[in-house]
A = this chain, B = another copy of it.
């Protein structure tokens, strides 16, 4: 068994599907706005640029995405955007907020096995209300000693969370799908990190280099985690 005091999990695209819902919403937005945009405008690119520009003001999450869609609609459609388009953007936003949690394969079994041997923590960024709703309705809440919904997953945040949990970085292992948010800052703080990729990655999470070193591991799926942790099948 590996000697960790805390095994921490990312939530979106690590425990349950998320990015595929945003992709579908984005496609709906593009279909909606393309007929209203002047020729030569790339609607999808305009939306991503708006999200990027708004990140420092709106932060992460669905409500930020909804407001960015409204702004991108005005930007690409100008005064030709009818009320009905804004109604549909609100519908897209609400659908994302209220969509039932869709767990990734093997998540429930893996957490059940791992929680018998380690203290589990959930660390996620985004909307307070949306992330809380997903954690509570997932049926997985009871596996976690602690749930942290944070503004940004950077070195400062991980340092604060580790302090709060009274755990040293070398006894901490983070598991997630985003190199930028789940892996790099944890490795930089001296912790261990396990990357489990998800088929889609949000444009704003992309990084150029893959980490290396003894404290970094990449697994093909969460199913491999118990064996990697040294939990033997019973």
Q: Using CB atoms and an 8 Å cutoff, list the residues of chain A in contact with chain B.
A: 57-59, 63-64, 66-67, 70-71, 74, 77-84, 86-87, 90, 93-94, 97-98, 127-129, 132, 149-151, 164
Q: How far is the CB of A4 from chain B (nearest CB, A)?
A: 21
Tell me, in angstroms, the Cα distance from A66 to B93 when the chains sit together. Answer: 13
Tell me, in angstroms, the Cα distance from A78 to B86 when the chains sit together. Answer: 11
- Majority secondary structure of chain A interface residues (helix, strand, loop or mixed): helix
Specify which chain B residues have a CB less than 8 angstroms from the CB of A87 in the assembled complex: 74
Question: Is A128 within 8 A of B84, CB to CB?
Answer: no
Q: How far is the CB of A52 from chain B (nearest CB, A)?
A: 15
**Of B59, B63, B70, B83, which one neighbours A81 at CB under 8 angstroms?**
B83
Question: Is B90 within 8 A of A84, CB to CB?
Answer: no
Question: Is A94 within 8 A of B63, CB to CB?
Answer: no
Tell me, in angstroms, the Cα distance from A98 to B149 when the chains sit together. Answer: 22
**Of B59, B66, B70, B83, which one neighbours A78 at CB under 8 angstroms?**
B83
Question: Is B132 within 8 A of A57, CB to CB?
Answer: no
Specify which chain B residues have a CB less than 8 angstroms from the CB of A150 in the assembled complex: 128
Question: Is B83 within 8 A of A127, CB to CB?
Answer: no
Closest to A75 in B: B87
